[in-house]
Amino acid sequence: MSTDTTTPAAKPRQHWLSSFGQIAAIVLAVFVAKGALAEPFYVPSASMEPTLLIGDALLASKFPYGYSAASLPIHVTAPDTGRVLEQLPKRGDVVVFRWPGDTAQVWVKRVVGLPGDHVQMRGGRLWLNGQPVPLKADGLGQAERDNGTSETAHRYIETLPGGVAHPIFKLRMNDPLDNTVEVTVPPDRLFVMGDNRDNSADSRVPVAEGGVGLLPVTDL
């Protein structure tokens, strides 16, 4: 004959500890999944129009490019130790990254230049490795401003080396960023741009001036 020696006060405590353990396990599983598999992300600006609109929801995969401190679902300031299982993006990939100017901020742009590429803007058109990137007119569209208003933009289809074709917006043809010096992308860096070419602080703009500069791969 067995005797239950558990006191009445101990049973609620055990139930509470069991519930806490289950909640902690769920939180840990979500944290690991967001750090290792994928994490939701909301587009904060119009810089990727017409491909992505303000407020669009993305599920950013973590594993295609490997892992670093930037992959964690919380902001952690850590020394640059490179990436584990690193893979470079392809030209045309849309990437989510921590902004080098403040790694607490998460941005989204398109990769147009890989290490070793020569990148330049001439007359509002992207040049890679001494050749203009094919561009085809695709009518007009409405480019949204961050204040909620919109303006008519010329829409084009740009086809990057490798065959990735994607739409871009051009509002004007002679903005300051339409003509740049040629840049050679160094190792472990990427040249990224927004599809809304006249409304994007990207690799054409230094970090000190609010842009991305040449994006470290470790920030993906």
Catalytic residues: 47, 109
Question: Residue 198 — left, alpha, or beta (φ > 0 → left; ψ -120 to 50 → alpha)?
Answer: alpha
CA gap 191, 203 in Å, rounded: 6
Q: How many residues in the chain? A: 220
- Nearest CA to 196 out of 136, 145, 147, 148 is that of 145
Name residue, tokens 């927004």: 194
Question: Residue 70 — left, alpha, or beta (φ > 0 → left; ψ -120 to 50 → alpha)?
Answer: alpha
Backbone angles phi, psi at 16, to 5 degrees: -65, -45
